[in-house]
Structure 1
Amino acid sequence: MPGITDRGSILVNELSDGVRVDDIWVELQNAVTVYNEHKTTVASLLSYPTIQAAAPIAQGLRQEAFERASEHGVPTAMNPTPDVLKLGFQYADWDKSTRFTALALRDMSSEQVTARVSAIMDADARLVQGLVLQRLFDPTPGENDFAHTVYGLWNGDSIVPPRYMGKSFTGSHNHYLVSQGAEIDSGDVEAAMALVTEHGYGLGADSGSQLILLVNAGAEAEAVQSWRAGEENANGQTARFDFIPSSNAPTYLTQSSIVGALPPTDVDGVPVLGSYGKAWVIESMLVPAGYFAVFATGGPNSEQNVIARRMHPSPAWQGLRLIEGNWAKYPLVESFFQRGLGTGVRHRGAASVMQIKASGSYVAPTVNL
C-alpha cells in the first residue's frame, strides 16, 4: 500500500550474526515470562502481592468477662466489637522502552540487543526493591487513589497497637529508632528485635514467621559477625548472644561447640550470613549505609510479610509486561516495558528500623538503587 511500509519491505530482518529479528522478539517475550516467575529478592521476604487498594486489619477485640451465675436468670450474651484499621496501598504505573533504528540493528549482534533488555530487567528489579525498601524505612504516611491512608510502621502517631498475649500498649509506639551511638552495637539490634517480637511477630513456629536482621554489606555486617555472648562490643554494650555463621560461611576454627541447629544457607535463594539470637542475618547492598532493619517474614510473598505490593486487578496488567511499540509489524525497533506497582505497610508491628547516629531524631533515607 503506497506510503505504508509493510513487513516485506523492511530492509533489515536479521542481525549481523544471522539471528532473525522475529526470533529475538520471541526470545525476549520468553525471558520476561521466566523473569516474572522466578525472580527472588529481599523484597519478596519483606512483602507480598495484592490487588486490594486497602486491607481492613483487626486491631483487637473488646475483652469479655464471665459473670457469676444467677439461679433465676440467664447469662448475658457476648458481643465482641472489633477495632478495625483500614491500611491503604499506593499504586502507580511505571514504564521504559527500547528503540533501535533499522540501520543500528543491521550492525548489532543478538547479544547487544538482549543486553539492552537485561538492563531493563535490572531496572525493574531495582524499582520493586526500591519501592519496598523506601516504604520500610520511611515513616511518612501518604494517601492512595481511593483516599485511604497509606501507613509506615508504628511511628508515634495516635493509633495504639493491638494487645498481644495479655500485653497492652498505651499512647504512641515508635518503630523508627536512633542508635545514639556512631557505631552499631548489640544493644541496638536486641532493642529492635524486642520491638517486633513483643507484637507476636518473628517467633518461629509459634507465629509462623522468622525474624530477619537486614544490614548493609559493609561495616554493620562486619560488626555483627564479631559479637560473642558476654563480651563487650561497640558503645560499651555486652552481647547477649553469639553470632553463629551459616554453613556456607568461609571455613573457620573454633574451640567452642555449637548447641542447636545452624542457620540455613539461604532463604529461598537469598543468602543468609548467620544468626544472632532468634534472627537470621542477611547482608545486602540494598540497605542504605547507616541503617538496619529487623523484620518478620512468613517466607517469599507471604501475606504475613510487612509490606503489600499492590498490582492492577487485571491479570493481563500484572508483573513486568512487554508491549509492542508503535511499529506493530516490527516490534523490536520500539518495545515498551510496563509495570503497575505501589506499596503500603500491612503489619505495622512486624518490623523496626534504626538509623545509626549519635544524636538527633530519625531521618528517613532516600533509597536510590
Structure 2
Amino acid sequence: MSELFITHALRTPIGTAGKAFREVTAAELGAVVLSELADRVAGEVEDVVLGNCMGPGGNVARVAALTAGLADHIPALTVDRQCASGLAAIQLAAANLAASAAPGQGTPPAAPPPSTGGVVLAGGLESASTAPWRFWPPVGDAEPKRYERAPFAPADRDPEMGAAADALAELYGITRERQDAYAARSHERAASAQADGAFDDEIVPIAGHTTDERIRRGLTAQRLAKLPAVFRPDGTVTVGNSCGINDGAAVVALSTTGPGLRVLAAASAGVDPTLPGLGIVPAVQRLLARAGLTSEQIDVWEFNEAFAGQVLACCDVLGLDDELVCRQGGALALGHPWGASGAVLAVRLFSQLITQQNGRYGVAAIAAGGGQGTAILVEACR
C-alpha cells in the first residue's frame, strides 16, 4: 500500500436495539460522527464510504453525508459485506485513496507518490431499531412472508448465525465453560475500561447519550452458566455468550499524510459458508503474510466478538492466546451494530495505539455471514 494513515477515529455510543437510539435512524447515527470528523480533519473531505447491512436500501452513506452537512460535491458509497461491512468500507477506501495518490504513467518510477492532501471518511452505520420490515411477494392466495434477512449463501449452505456458532464451537471443542468465562471477561474488561475513561475520547455524544449501553459490570461466568442454550438443546451458545442486537456508527479519517495509524495491509478472505465465524482466520493469515509480520509482533488485537465460541475457535486455529484479544472488552460487552462493527474495531485500535500509546502494531478482524472475513493491520506513527 502507498503511505496511508488513519488520522482520526470516532464512534457513537453503542445502544441496545429498541432502547437508547430506538428512534434514531442509521443515517442520523452516521451523520453525527461524520460531522464531527469533518470539523476535525485538516484536509478537504473528498469521499465518504460507509458499510451498512439492514438499512432502508438506496445509498444510506450519501444520506448520512448530506445529513451531516457535507458539501453536495462530496460523493458517497454504501458497502455491504454484512457484518464485515464497516471494515470492508475502510479497506475499499484505503485502496481507492492509494490508487488516487499513485504516480501517473508519465511519472519517473523513482519519484514519490504525489499527495492529494485530501481525506476520505470511511466506516459503518447500523440501526437495528429502525431497520425497515420487508416482505417477499405473495404467491397465489398466500399471505406475504416476512423477509427476515438477506441470503448469505445458497439455501443449503446458509445456516443461522447462532446455529453456525454452535457448530463451530463443537467442531473445535470449545466448551460451554470456556465460552462463559470469555464472555464474563469481556464485560469485566469493558466495564473497567469504561470506568477508567478509555472510551471517552472516541465517543461522540448523541441524543443525550455518552456511554455504551450493554456493558454489565459484575457479570460472572457463574451467572452466565445458568442460562439455557438457545439454538439447539445440546448446544453451548446462549444469549449470555453471544453479542447483542445493537445500534451505532463508527468512522475513521484516511489521509496520505500522518501522523496516525499507518495502514500496512488489509485483506479479505472466504471460508466454508456453513462455518462463517471462521472467516477471521484466513483474513489474518493473509494480512500478516502480506506485511511480513508474525503474530508475536502484534501489540493490540481486536476481533469482533459475535460469539464467544467463535472467537475462541479462531484464536485456537491461529495459535493465539485469547487473553491477548480485546483487552478492553469487545462486542460481547459493547454490542455488535452489524454494519458498523468492523469500523468500531478500527476506532478501538486508534484509541489504544495512538491516544493511549499501548504499542506499535495492531490488527482488527471480523467475520461475516456467507463465510467471509476482513482484517486490517496498522502501525502507530505518533
TM-score category, normalised to shorter length: under 0.3
TM-score w.r.t. length of structure 1: 0.19
Which structure dedicates a bigger proportion of its chain to helix? 2
TM-score w.r.t. length of structure 2: 0.19
